[in-house]
Structure 1
Amino acid sequence: MRLLKSGLMMVASASAIMAAPGAVAQESADARFKAIYTAEWTWRQNQKADDEDSGDHISAHLPDVGPAAQAERLKMWTDVTAKLATIDPAQLTPENRIDLQIYSNQIATALAALRYREYEKPLNADTSFWGNVAGTARQSFKTEQDYRNYLTMLGEMPRYFAQQIANMKAGEARGFTPPKITLEGRDATVTPITDAKTPQDNPFYAPFKTMPAVIPAATQAALRAQAVAVIQNAVVPAHKSLLAFLRDDYIPHAKTSLDAYSLPDGKAYYQSKIREFTTLDLTPAQIHQIGLDEVAGIRAQMLGVMKEVDFEGDLPAFLTYLRTDPRFYAKTPQALLDRAAWIAKTFDGKAKDWFGHLPRSRFAIIPVPADIAPFYTGGRGGPGVYLVNTYNLPSRPLYSLAALTLHESAPGHAFQMPLAAENKDLPPFRQQSYISAYGEGWALYCEKLGVEMGMYDTPYDRFGMLSYQMWRAARLVVDTGIHAMGWTRAQAQAYLHDNTALADHEIETEVDRYIAWPGQALSYYLGEKAIVDARAKAQKALGPKFNIRAFHDTVLQLGSVPLPVLQARVDRFIAEGGKGPYPDEE
């Protein structure tokens, strides 16, 4: 999702940055390790990942994703891996030992992506390189320099798109594409750019419609004129070339099989994605069985809620009732947004009882942009934003909205990620990175925590939470079923339809996402399970000394880490008597 998107980076000279191994041989292990990660991190920051979560700065450049750049990147991380192998963890401080585990995982993940040439597939069912670039137009523009950077970036679009198309052609030639079924209709995400009647109607012009008053009027006019020119001469032509490629070549010739095993070196590739997204060494069969076991346990809880509301009928009948009764759905997009805001504000009133340390950052609640909404998830969150999908309101049930909000806003993604970024005690590679097993596991844990926090007003809201838990447990079954066990798309859809309260539209978009993005769906439930198990262990060991605020602060203070690092930190939390990481903690 957010960590080291190797296909979206611009290369600096590795040889000019990384010192030779012998030059630091006499230094302490701690100093050598710091020298390695500081040099590589400096280099990494000269890369550019145009991403929906790229922050509040406006970059002046799009990355170099051509063959020479990919080769240089491969050399850089191969060299870093060799240097890390010379570090004896036993000679590091305890803090640096943890940092080494986390940093080594980052480098290994980046290197695996390059070795499998993932840059040749820079899209999946709901995200794409062109969509990520379009996200720049929705960022906050504050200064004249932001606008000038943006114009420079737009001018580089023909070169960048041509490189991406060349990479996609190389992937197509070796059968390394998303499955064709997951790409159908995705060309519609390009047409808002190509079909805009005037440059001023183009989505890339949006930042120029309202500009900061601190920029003089004459300068604003000049910047707008430049925007018109660059949209006409660079942005639109680049998107027209892309659209023709997608419609005439890429989508018609994409692979028809669904499974990762059918990709080049498919079994090893899928195992590498399991390692990346779960940080655990589990086989597809092991994960599939965990999913089946968890689905059975959650189904029993669902049946309990049905009894609570005196529903007469079986689970399929109850799910049909939830999917079709108008009482469970907002009548307008604004009503859905308003309810999400109410839920988020309700958590604010409870936060101090569950967390000792709160982020300074706040977030906005905004609708998913119309051009991507049909293929997008129900919501998505991160630093500064909680996106709520208001497209197709009959597929956005209110009984699931509390769980969705806790996951995507606070105390989920829009809470956890700023806490990591604001933690100056962490090295920068921990502050600004994201590991799906931890981040998605934490956000899913927040949904379950909502029961204890009193966030679910009705049994139906609690059922919505259970449906979301079931959805993530079912992903363990569905993802491994599709990619390792020969499941069909219809089989995967039926499994979600029979076990969750998700609307059919959302089931379709979700299954296509799992098909096109092998392994990512595994991170959620396995991550949550690690946190739930660690908490249970701490509560049992500490008894009355257990403090929930201290536990949560301990987990969040880590930043985004592999699950074994999280588990080891909770063991230390227990050994230290349940003491939290902040002095003022009770």
Structure 2
Amino acid sequence: MRRPSGSIIAAPALACVLACAPAGPFTPALAREVAAATTGAASEVQANNLRRLFADDAGREEALDPLSALYRGDIADTAALARIYTAGLEREQLASAHRSRDALAGIRRAALSPDLQISYDVFAALKDEELASLRPEVRALTAVRPFNHFGGLHVEFPSLVAPGGVIAYEDEQDYQAALALYRVFPRMLDNAILRFREGLASGVVDPRLTVENMIGQIDAILARSGPESPFLQSLAQFPDAVPQSARPALRAAFASAVDGEVTPAYRRLRAFLAEEYLPSARDNVGLSQMKGGRDLYRLLIRRETTLPLEPDAVHRLGLSEVARIRRKMEGVQRELGASGDLDLFFDRLRDDPRFHPKSARQLAQGFARIGTEVDAALPRFFAQGPAAPLAIEPYPAYRARYEAGGSYAEGDPERRRPGVFFYNTYDLSHRFLSGMTTLYLHEAVPGHHLQISLARANAQLPPFQRYGDNSAFVEGWALYAETLGYDMGLYTDPLQHWGTLDDEMLRAMRLVVDTGIHAQGWSRAQAIDYMLANSGMGRSDAESEVDRYIATPAQALSYKIGALTFQRLRDKARRQLGDRFDIRGFHEAVLGSGALPLPVLETVVDRWIAARTER
């Protein structure tokens, strides 16, 4: 007969209680003591089973996701990297997710501590999402489009292997590790070509726009040859730990790897995209116009927002938010000394040189000043600051044209690699001074850098929480962080107040435009026109934003959906706690468990409210 879970370990604890109890009748007090010991032992069994499952899953995931390990800066398993973009690897990933989800079903959630219940819920949500995304019918629509112009190994690899990337370049072993990556990189690109070809055969292909942008990116990489090549920059200055006698051989090996393997691999990819793939690429840009795309878009909305939202409902929410923010903009417009039609003011912002940076130096100095101001205000809102240093840098030249106004790349304190807030100096006449404060708050502190560095530093969390990056939480938090600029006093300048409204408008427009493109058949031109009609953003920014939504459907929805959730939960806590509400405590609660699915985040906040209500 099968024993109930935990009974084998619980029995000795029960025996100990009975054996150690004084002789006498079995009283109610003793019964409670026995019950508590039995329950405690059973709970520990469930907790240990859950921790073992987490460790087992992490080991399997590490082996089955070498690309993530590479991005984290871990030692690369080149044999595993050679399997990137292959169907065999995806089948193993699906089997692993099934194994973990089945094992989780055998663990009694109610027997776990509150913190472990949160981990249980996050793990369940992650595995359910993996199972949904790895279904063969879904992979037939996604795996055959392995990367695009907005993100992918083809454009990110140069930054990964350049100084300041994932390799420390502190000794000869680091240089050999880079060479190993150079040698496996062509295999990864060739695998991607094979997957693209599968899509050609099945009729599942990317839009022409995305393909043309990828070709442009490859051209920009290939144009940087010789000492300017990102693949040779590590040779410019060797560390003392690399012997003089070893340096000539390393230079020769790097030149051979770049000229004989890396560069030809890029040329093969470019030739394939330009000569085979582009002629069959889609002229339309929306998922609803791609084979199987309508159902895929719903799945992507669920993945990116962690909520079961319908495209039409998201579209209506976006229209409502756009109207609300426009009303606020009209008030700030008057503070800036302008009256009349808001659309005309948008045009004035685009054309008036006073609103645009004159040099890259002006941007660098401005972001440094904003960082100092934020650091001074931070203790009023957070009990703990970032757990890692931050660098502020412009995008490398080969990336800038295809990037947004700014972004964040996390660092690695163990390798003395800081987090980096990148800002864009391409096409300065169309960048805006007004958006500097809100951009810093989003990408740096208290946005991405603070949230991500605190999660990474929390060794008590399971790896999937510590390194989790679900977009609804991470991007939702960063947009919420922008709103803290009001209480920090950073938007008293009407120009910076306009800037944060303009950025909030951007995230509201995303709800309209993303769903418009992928569910309602909008064209690229229609999407760009809508963004220009409802914000002061420059045309180049609007174009790059729309091209991003085309390449990464539903991801842009996560910002506003997540931020509205953070704001709603904060208002809920303030309303229920009254004078007992503490903003530092609220922020500590929402950031203390890593990046959570939004339904789990609500559970965390409800528990935090309940704990303070009972005091």
| TM, length-normalised to structure 2 | 0.86
SS at match of 2:134: helix
> 1:543, CA displacement in angstroms?
1.3
From the CA coordinates, give the structure whose radius of gyration is larger: 2
Aligned length: 558
- For 1:160, the equivalent position in structure 2 comes to 188
> 1:334, CA displacement in angstroms?
2.3
Cα pair distance change 1:26/1:189, threshold 3 Å: farther
- For 2:33, the equivalent position in structure 1 comes to none
Residues 60 and 150 of structure 1 are in contact (CA less than 8 Å); yes or no, is this contact kept in structure 2? Answer: no
1:87 aligns with 2:107: yes
Residues 157 and 235 of structure 1 are in contact (CA less than 8 Å); yes or no, is this contact kept in structure 2? Answer: yes
Q: Extract unaligned runs of 5+ from structure 2.
A: 10-44, 411-418
Residues 49 and 63 of structure 1 are in contact (CA less than 8 Å); yes or no, is this contact kept in structure 2? Answer: no
Aligned with residue 321 of structure 2, among 287, 291, 294: 294
1:43 aligns with 2:43: no
CA distances 1:15-52 after superposition (whole Å, capped 9, x unpaired): xxxxxxx9999784333322222111012223455479
Residues 306 and 598 of structure 2 are in contact (CA less than 8 Å); yes or no, is this contact kept in structure 1? Answer: yes
SS at match of 2:59: helix
- For 2:87, the equivalent position in structure 1 comes to 67
Counterpart Cα distance in 2 of 1:278 and 1:165: 30
- For 1:109, the equivalent position in structure 2 comes to 129
Cα pair distance change 1:470/1:196, threshold 3 Å: closer
Counterpart Cα distance in 1 of 2:277 and 2:143: 15
Residues 436 and 523 of structure 1 are in contact (CA less than 8 Å); yes or no, is this contact kept in structure 2? Answer: yes
Q: Which amino acid aligns with 1:236?
A: T
Cα pair distance change 1:53/1:577, threshold 3 Å: farther
Cα pair distance change 1:197/1:379, threshold 3 Å: closer
Counterpart Cα distance in 1 of 2:450 and 2:407: 13
Counterpart Cα distance in 1 of 2:68 and 2:101: 26
1:276 aligns with 2:303: yes
Name the Cα RMSD after superposition.
Answer: 2.3
Q: Which amino acid aligns with 1:252?
A: P
Counterpart Cα distance in 1 of 2:267 and 2:367: 37
Aligned with residue 567 of structure 1, among 602, 605, 608: 602
SS at match of 1:385: strand
1:204 aligns with 2:220: no
CA distances 1:325-375 after superposition (whole Å, capped 9, x unpaired): 111111112221221222122211111111101222011111112112111
SS at match of 1:156: helix
Cα pair distance change 1:26/1:485, threshold 3 Å: farther
Q: Which moved more, 1:280-289 or 1:33-42?
A: 33-42
Q: Which amino acid aligns with 1:271?
A: R
> 1:301, CA displacement in angstroms?
0.8
Counterpart Cα distance in 2 of 1:206 and 1:91: 55
Residues 409 and 421 of structure 2 are in contact (CA less than 8 Å); yes or no, is this contact kept in structure 1? Answer: yes
- For 2:150, the equivalent position in structure 1 comes to 126
> 1:377, CA displacement in angstroms?
1.0
- For 1:15, the equivalent position in structure 2 comes to none
SS at match of 1:350: helix
Residues 517 and 523 of structure 2 are in contact (CA less than 8 Å); yes or no, is this contact kept in structure 1? Answer: yes
Counterpart Cα distance in 2 of 1:149 and 1:498: 50
Cα pair distance change 1:175/1:414, threshold 3 Å: farther
1:234 aligns with 2:269: no
Cα pair distance change 1:191/1:103, threshold 3 Å: same
> 1:257, CA displacement in angstroms?
2.3
Q: Extract unaligned runs of 5+ from structure 1.
A: 1-21, 581-586
Aligned with residue 209 of structure 2, among 177, 181, 186: 181
Counterpart Cα distance in 2 of 1:463 and 1:369: 28
> 1:143, CA displacement in angstroms?
3.3
Counterpart Cα distance in 1 of 2:71 and 2:337: 48
- For 1:4, the equivalent position in structure 2 comes to none
1:404 aligns with 2:439: yes
SS at match of 2:407: strand
Residues 48 and 63 of structure 1 are in contact (CA less than 8 Å); yes or no, is this contact kept in structure 2? Answer: no
Residues 302 and 463 of structure 1 are in contact (CA less than 8 Å); yes or no, is this contact kept in structure 2? Answer: yes
SS at match of 2:115: helix
Residues 284 and 480 of structure 1 are in contact (CA less than 8 Å); yes or no, is this contact kept in structure 2? Answer: yes
- For 2:39, the equivalent position in structure 1 comes to none
Counterpart Cα distance in 1 of 2:115 and 2:338: 54
Counterpart Cα distance in 1 of 2:609 and 2:369: 36
Q: Which amino acid aligns with 1:71?
A: R
Residues 356 and 549 of structure 1 are in contact (CA less than 8 Å); yes or no, is this contact kept in structure 2? Answer: yes
Counterpart Cα distance in 1 of 2:53 and 2:333: 57
Counterpart Cα distance in 1 of 2:509 and 2:547: 15
> 1:573, CA displacement in angstroms?
1.4
Counterpart Cα distance in 2 of 1:197 and 1:577: 61
Residues 215 and 273 of structure 2 are in contact (CA less than 8 Å); yes or no, is this contact kept in structure 1? Answer: yes
Cα pair distance change 1:579/1:394, threshold 3 Å: farther
CA distances 1:55-96 after superposition (whole Å, capped 9, x unpaired): 344535335122222222222222222322333422333222
Residues 343 and 533 of structure 2 are in contact (CA less than 8 Å); yes or no, is this contact kept in structure 1? Answer: yes
Q: Which amino acid aligns with 1:492?
A: A
Counterpart Cα distance in 1 of 2:474 and 2:64: 23
> 1:173, CA displacement in angstroms?
2.4
> 1:193, CA displacement in angstroms?
4.2
Residues 51 and 132 of structure 1 are in contact (CA less than 8 Å); yes or no, is this contact kept in structure 2? Answer: no
Residues 176 and 264 of structure 1 are in contact (CA less than 8 Å); yes or no, is this contact kept in structure 2? Answer: yes
Cα pair distance change 1:305/1:26, threshold 3 Å: farther
SS at match of 2:612: coil
Counterpart Cα distance in 1 of 2:544 and 2:584: 37
- For 2:343, the equivalent position in structure 1 comes to 316
Aligned with residue 213 of structure 1, among 240, 244, 250: 240
| TM, length-normalised to structure 1 | 0.90
SS at match of 1:358: coil
Q: Which moved more, 1:437-446 or 1:99-108?
A: 99-108
Q: Which amino acid aligns with 2:197?
A: K
Q: Which moved more, 1:111-120 or 1:531-540?
A: 111-120
Q: Give the alignment of 1:352-391 within 5 angstroms.
A: 352-383=379-410, 384-391=419-426
Counterpart Cα distance in 2 of 1:578 and 1:369: 51
Q: Which amino acid aligns with 2:269?
A: L
1:506 aligns with 2:526: no
Residues 394 and 424 of structure 2 are in contact (CA less than 8 Å); yes or no, is this contact kept in structure 1? Answer: yes
Cα pair distance change 1:145/1:43, threshold 3 Å: farther
Q: Which moved more, 1:251-260 or 1:496-505?
A: 251-260
- For 1:455, the equivalent position in structure 2 comes to 490
- For 2:511, the equivalent position in structure 1 comes to 476
> 1:472, CA displacement in angstroms?
0.3
Cα pair distance change 1:93/1:333, threshold 3 Å: same
1:146 aligns with 2:174: yes
SS at match of 1:54: helix
Residues 57 and 146 of structure 1 are in contact (CA less than 8 Å); yes or no, is this contact kept in structure 2? Answer: no
